[in-house]
Structure 1
């Protein structure tokens, strides 16, 4: 089973990484997913509210053409990223339940629902008029479609534009197109400002992005997070070890990592429930004391949730990487 990057805790991903050889088969399919849909014609009268006037709307998520007949009032989100997107576009009052991994923003109506192994009977108990998920498993789309419930599958983003398009699409689906557009514009502006300040030409700075340890998995420049790091022109040590079968997430040996001498180590598995690979733990690994990132204290524990999602908090991840880049550049210059 391919790992699923949309989560609030790393443990399920680590298990998948350690048991799969083709780590993200889903990643290969992402390039064609996440495109924003086009609004269908509206039959609302001119006296209707702007939100009501935008329905019905036909969208094209990864599961094909989906029509939302009227503004949804009972949304169920089975994806932590989709949950954040829905709240960012202003649809929070329409959300009645979110999956057990959705933990942001504070106060979301968390339930026992699973996005990885969805239970249609449990979902239907919330009487949803729209369900959003990041993958179609356990017959989710077919089962809910038979019951007349529209489902939007918004998979893990393969590139920045995918993330933006999903936010815009959820804005259309919920009647909040204006707020969705503003959210995307703000994200782009913050990211551009951050990259400008930190500089986008750090090709002399190498990094290791740690997805998990024991065994060590990393993310290449072709992945979503790899492309985010590439905004700063960094050199990814995992690129040289990539194979067509690993989906951009190669397994690296400890010897390979140490010999690559990364100047910066970015930990996406440092949370207590996500592997606990803190900067202190990494620095104490046998043989790693020769690694420049260790010698210069350039090991950064990223916010695991932010690093594993592709929603409105993406500028925070970019900012974390920017700070790490600036510190590492200063250290390498000494």
Structure 2
């Protein structure tokens, strides 16, 4: 799966604050709900043994940072990368997840490091220093997202809290989807104003699929799961809904979309169905995916 371009496109979006509609993560608890040592195996990865309950976690993944605080492991987090901006209490520093430096990470004296990419061979570099590393790649589905939360619960001593969080997310999402009438609508999800988007095979695409929406990128002839569509292809597809995941990073809005040559004629523009999403919520696979589901539901219900 080609993830190079979307990673570059959403880099700025990851640096944004989270959606204000989501409740604050729970306070950390001191009583572990997992016995140590414990061995966990990330999807598609190798088993990692954690000898004792980690107390100095370094997270180089904004989504995992949100997971950790949501399951009550916030007090165990010693440092996060500079793009991990949610929750506000996360100990954000100058670590660059896109150009990770083993020495800089090791200086934080971590007993567990979480990354979503093995850039600069950071995994092997930390393993040589005997630091446990969890490589949690970008989720491809809701089940992947749930699985990462559960794994982090086990790895940090918060199994019960993680299970409760996952159950709550599943319940909320199922309730929202059940209460939203299915409509034969098409949509375009914009990652950037130069046409990068997602297909139905991606994490975001599967969220839209919960509502039975049809993704115009699936048949527009682009390459990969994060294709770049020309403006002409989007105009020709004439989607019922346009979702903007580049509002804060790139200042895109219903007004800027309408001002693009030929776009003012689109159904989504004419009918006021250009939806501004919170960039970070739309690009992360953590607990705030519930907010994304709710935003899509509101947009679908609005279309007559």
- The residue aligned with 1:59 is 40
Quote the residue 1:217 is aligned against: 196
Equivalent residue number for residue 229 of structure 2 = 252
Match of 1:208 among 160, 185, 188: 188
The secondary structure found in structure 1 opposite 2:134 is strand
Determine if contact 1:217/1:251 at 8 Å carries over to the other structure. yes
Measure the CA separation in 1 of the matches of 2:263 and 2:134: 45
TM-score, length basis structure 2: 0.90
Calculate the aligned-residue CA RMSD, in Å: 1.8
- Shift of residue 279, structure 1, vs aligned partner: 1.1
Query: In structure 2, do the counterparts of structure 1 residues 124 and 7 end up closer, same or farther at CA, with 3 Å as the change threshold?
Result: farther
Structure 2 distance, partners of 1:143, 1:218, is 34
Match of 1:270 in 2: 247
Residue 197 of structure 1 deviates from its aligned partner by 1.1
Q: Tell me how far apart the structure 2 counterparts of residues 236 and 99 of structure 1 sit (CA, whole Å).
A: 33
5+ residue gaps, structure 1, are: 13-48
Q: How do 1:161-180 and structure 2 match up within 5 A?
A: 161-180=143-162
Distance in 2 separating the partners of 1:209 and 1:266: 5
* Structure ID, larger Rg: 1
1:317 match:
292
Moved over 2 A (4+): 1-12, 49-53
Matches within 5 A, 1:96-245: 96-199=78-181, 201-202=182-183, 204-213=184-193, 215-243=194-222
Looking at structure 2, the residues matched to 51 and 177 of structure 1 have their Cα atoms a distance apart, in angstroms, of 8
In structure 2, the residue matched to 1:24 is none
Contact 1:78/1:134 (CA < 8 Å) preserved in 2? Answer: yes
Aligned to 1:10: 13
Counterpart of 1:295? 270
8 Å contact 1:6–1:81 — kept in the other structure?
Answer: no
Q: TM-score, normalised by structure 1?
A: 0.82
TM superposition shift of 1:63: 3.5
**Contact 1:168 1:177 (C-alpha < 8 Å) held by counterparts:** yes
Cα distance in 2 between the residues matched to 1:266 and 1:223? 15
Decide whether aligned partners of structure 1 residues 165 and 52 sit closer, same or farther in structure 2, where only a CA change above 3 A counts. closer
Contact 2:14–2:62, Cα closer than 8 Å, also in 1: no
Contact 2:34–2:159 under 8 Å retained in 1: no
Shift of 1:6: 10
Q: How far off is 1:250 after superposition?
A: 1.3
Compute the displacement of 1:9 (Å).
Answer: 2.4
Instruction: Give the corresponding residue for 1:41.
Output: none
In 1: Cα distance, 2:71 partner to 2:221 partner? 37
SS in 2 for 1:138: helix
